[in-house]
């Protein structure tokens, strides 16, 4: 992932240094596992640990140099490790293992660590949305369906629904973490032909992974599940950001992104405060969904394995997870800092909607008075059309309509926004994690 979208704590987990260091730990744990069943002597394992090479930029460069000869990156890695450790102990490095034992188990260990970060950041986004829901649950705003004025809702209801979706993302992320927190050290084609299953159990236990049956590689539906969790999170963020973009439009003006001192909204037009962060998040969500497509195509491999997934994963796994964390942190900042304009929302609701948002209330009042639903509907529909064409308030048109025989008190109740919003607290009741 390009530096612009790379949080340092996540990016550091996908460096070559960290990857090789995790692979080396798998190798050393495997040697310890062999010692536990008497294949190695304890002093040989102790010497391997003592001579554990430092994984730094020079180590990475040496592996790259060696790979130019072997044309096999894991073989090059093993060669450099053995050279650093020295014989005779180095002969036990990679004993009975195949490349995927080390690479797949190390990758799953890294992905598990990153998923812990993802889960914490989704929780932070959910909590930010929850806080905004609580503080704005009573702020009326025009609801919109098909992009047109519908009935009133509240800012808080919007935030609560986004928080509920983020909470579902947490569950998806936790499930994906469980799916990827696995390892395998069962050798070529996964039959333990040259390695005891006890070694696999030993290594996985020390890495916090669950040993699972596998071919030569860990099944890639697990990796696809991680990518789906990322794509789902990105789509939740996109939905929230898209709402911000709509509410920030000049003709709506009901919310705007935080605008810091010295910030410029446009290089040409100084009055602009463009929702650039929301637009960025909507765009990046598309990228995340693209990674999921590639991950799904990685699931079907030839027989016990091929290597078509490897090149794809080197790109999509680091990029998808790094980008997910970046988006989550930016979205949490947006949720916390979003500026609401409840006075403009009330103006849009009471004035610019022409009162048409109360059409259903008038319809139901007419039905209650004894009219058939269709007759009542046609009366209200006609009055609404006149209000639009004449640019007059819907209540005034209704008051003049001889077909509407409702008394003033009934009409007052029909046009009461607070009556329609009497049950908004139910949105907060659904936020069960709220303290």
Full DSSP string of 124-177: HHHHHHHHHHHHHTT-EEEEEETTEEEEEEEHHHHHHHHHHHHHHHHHHHHHHH
Sign of CA dihedral 15, 49, 64, 188: negative
Distance CA 220, CA 126 (A): 29
Closest to 427 measured CA to CA, from 137, 131, 132, 129: 137
> How many Å separate Cα 236 from the centre of its chain?
7
Cβ within 8 Å of residue 121, ≥6 positions away? 325, 328, 329, 332
Known catalytic residues? 146, 266
**Would you state the structure tokens that stand for residue 264, as one six-digit string?**
């410029």
SS3 letters for 390-419? HCCCHHHHHHHCCCCCCCHHHHHHHCCHHH
Bridging pattern class, strands 255-256 and 339-340: antiparallel
Angle in degrees, 0-180, between the axes of helices 373-390 and 359-368, rounded to the nearest 10: 150
Would you say 137 and 424 are in contact if contact means Cβ atoms under 8 Å apart? yes
Residue 250 sits at the vertex; the CA angle it makes with 142 and 336, to the nearest 5 degrees, is 70
**Would you state the structure tokens that stand for residue 96, as one six-digit string?**
């009975």
Would you say 378 and 362 are in contact if contact means Cβ atoms under 8 Å apart? no
């Amino acid at each position: 992932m390009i530096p612009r979208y790379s949080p340092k704590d996540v990016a550091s987990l996908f460096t070559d240094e960290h990857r090789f260091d995790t692979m080396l730990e798998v190798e050393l744990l495997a040697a310890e596992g062999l010692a536990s069943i008497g294949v190695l002597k304890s002093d040989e394992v102790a010497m391997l640990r003592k001579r554990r090479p430092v994984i730094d930029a020079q180590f990475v460069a040496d592996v790259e140099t060696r790979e130019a000869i072997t044309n096999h990156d894991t073989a090059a890695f093993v060669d450099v490790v053995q050279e650093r450790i020295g014989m005779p102990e180095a002969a036990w490095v990679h004993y009975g293992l195949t490349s995927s034992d080390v690479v797949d188990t190390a990758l799953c260990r890294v992905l598990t660590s990153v998923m812990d970060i993802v889960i914490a950041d989704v929780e932070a986004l959910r909590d930010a949305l929850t806080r905004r829901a609580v503080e704005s649950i009573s702020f009326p705003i025009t609801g919109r369906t098909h992009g047109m004025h519908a009935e009133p809702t509240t800012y808080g209801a919007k935030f609560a629904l986004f928080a509920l979706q983020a909470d579902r993302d947490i569950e998806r992320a936790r499930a994906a973490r469980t799916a990827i927190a696995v390892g395998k050290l069962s050798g070529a084609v996964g039959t333990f032909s040259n390695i005891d299953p006890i070694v696999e159990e030993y290594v996985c236990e020390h890495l916090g992974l669950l040993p699972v049956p596998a071919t030569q590689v860990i099944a890639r539906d697990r990796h696809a599940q991680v990518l789906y969790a990322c794509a789902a999170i990105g789509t939740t963020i996109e939905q929230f950001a898209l709402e911000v973009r709509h509410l920030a439009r000049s003709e709506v003006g009901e919310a705007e992104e935080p605008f810091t001192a010295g910030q410029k909204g446009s290089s040409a037009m100084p009055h602009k405060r463009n929702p650039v962060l929301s637009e960025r998040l909507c765009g990046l969500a598309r990228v995340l969904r693209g990674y999921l497509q590639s991950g799904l195509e990685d699931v079907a491999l030839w027989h016990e394995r091929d290597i078509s997934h490897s090149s794809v994963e080197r790109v999509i796994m680091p990029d998808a997870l790094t980008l997910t964390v970046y988006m989550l942190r930016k979205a949490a900042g947006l949720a916390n800092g979003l500026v609401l304009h409840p006075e403009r929302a009330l103006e849009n609701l009471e004035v610019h909607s022409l009162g048409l948002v109360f059409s259903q209330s008038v319809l139901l009042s007419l039905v209650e008075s004894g009219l058939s639903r269709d007759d009542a509907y046609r009366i209200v529909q006609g009055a609404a059309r006149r209000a639009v064409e004449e640019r007059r308030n819907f209540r005034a048109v209704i008051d003049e309509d001889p077909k509407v025989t409702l008394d003033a008190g009934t009409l007052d109740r029909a046009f009461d926004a607070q009556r329609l919003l009497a049950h908004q607290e139910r949105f907060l009741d659904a936020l069960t994690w709220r303290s």
